[in-house]
Amino acid sequence: MKSLQWAVPLLFASALASAQTVTDDSGNRIEISKPAQHIADAWFAHHSLLMTLGAGDRIVATVNHPVDRPWMFKVQPSLSQALQAQGKTFNAEALVARKVDAIFVPANDPDAQSYRLAGIPVLAMNFDDFDSMKRSLITTAQVVGTPAASARAQAYNHYLDTQIASIAAKTAGLTDSQRPRVLHIQSLHPLKVDGRSTLIDTWIRLAGGRNVAASVNGNMRPVSPEEVIRWDPDVIIIGAGAGTLAESDYRTLFASVKAVKQRQVWQNPSGVFPWDRYGTEVALQIQWAAKQLHPALFSKLDMTKATRAFYRTFYDYALTVNDAQRILQALPPE
């Protein structure tokens, strides 16, 4: 009887220990009663954070699709059994039926209230620089609620900080004339670029470049082709999924642009998520961009090895050499 008397308080204490209040990226305080075993994710990029934490198999509802993210579904095959949203919206009743413990949504998601009304804890996530992404990863680990997830968050953040410091040590002293003028094109049809106050602008500058679209504020901003010609970038980086410049309507129009004339038009790598945007593979993106812009400074950096090591460490997935090279060329799995 005495052991039973002790067992009841211990079980109660354990339950209390697993309950917590988490503050999401929008400043909302959300009660999480237990570690989330069944997660819905309504933000395309956020899936990579859960996968980095070793919790990709907890995603039971996703806005991603294998046709758009073939590497994501190859690396995390359990996603094929998840409920796949049409567009960005889930049916709240379907989430309840899947016993969803928590849902991650992008900030200002208009569907968030319907999920709350269904009794599902909603976490509004948003990050636009390295520090806010690291914070998001810690918050996500709190929701996952395991010591392993917390350790993975700390390990990734340390890895990212180490890469940032290593690259900055080599690029910080570059003069403006030594920094190529870079244009990052997110979409060719219609023509959209990434300007200042973005993660894209941050990695361009860290890697030793200058963002020619810095006069434009924000992500995916529409611009005219005449503006691109006027900017005359030294380098053009085409985002994953945007197609190629050679097959676009601007092939002839941009022929006079320095980057085109000097064959400095690059396709951005894309793996679990496009490296150039808002996922944990930005830790690889900064290395790739630095080596592309300043090959002499980063001559010892082997991106195939770096990619394979990253996937093994943070996605628990063993890429072949060919796999890594296809990702670096923004090609899907064979």
Which of 92-101, 237-246, 277-286, 312-321 is the least confident region? 237-246
Domain of residue 82, CATH code? 3.40.50.1980
**333 located within any domain:** no
Is the domain of 81 the same as that of 204? no
Is the domain of 217 the same as that of 305? yes
Indicate if the pLDDT at residue 8 is higher than 90: no
Secondary structure in 3-state letters for 220-286: CEECCHHHHHHHCCCEEEECCCCCCHHHCCCCCHHHHCHHHHCCCEEECCECCCECCCCCCCHHHHH
**168 located within any domain:** no
Give residue 107's domain range.
15-146
**292 located within any domain:** yes
Is the domain of 82 the same as that of 203? no
Is the domain of 178 the same as that of 303? yes
**154 located within any domain:** no
Is the domain of 132 the same as that of 232? no
Secondary structure in 3-state letters for 172-207: CCCCHHHCCEEEEEEEECCEEECCECCHHHHHHHHC
- pLDDT tens-digit readout, 164-206: 999 999 999 999 999 999 999 999 999 999 999 999 999 999 9
Is the domain of 136 the same as that of 201? no
Is the domain of 188 the same as that of 279? yes
Indicate if the pLDDT at residue 3 is higher than 60: no
**153 located within any domain:** no
Confidence (pLDDT) at 18: 60
How would residue 278 be classed by pLDDT, with cut points 50, 70 and 90?
confident
**250 located within any domain:** yes
